[in-house]
Amino acid sequence: MPLSGTLTKARIVEAVVETNGYTQQKAHETIEILLELIKRSLESGQDVMISGFGKFCVKNKKKQRGRNPATGKDLIIDREKSLHSNGPGN
């Protein structure tokens, strides 16, 4: 089944229904459980490794200098977390 455009949760659910014969409800519940497990793992600082797909991890960025584009004033941007992913073989 070729998919074009943005892959959404709804399209993933539909693909599971079509390929595995799950009911819409069962497919939706399965995808929700999977996404919740990934989300909780990342929120707790654990990496997520899906064999053949890739690795996801949250990295902490350092404070950095920036500039307010509206005023031109220098400022310090606080530390933040960002999601990083590496595809298979990376």
Per-residue pLDDT reduced to its tens digit, 40-81: 999 998 999 999 889 999 988 888 888 989 999 998 888 778
| Residue 89 confidence class, pLDDT cut points 50, 70, 90 | low
Q: What is the pTM of this model?
A: 0.69
Bridge-based pairing of strands 80-86 and 74-77 is: unpaired
What would the two tokens of residue 42 be? 């990342």
Question: What pLDDT does residue 37 have?
Answer: 96
| Residue 90 confidence class, pLDDT cut points 50, 70, 90 | low
Mean pLDDT of the chain: 89
Query: Can you list the domains of the chain with their CATH numbers?
Result: 1-45 (4.10.520.10), 47-90 (4.10.520.10)
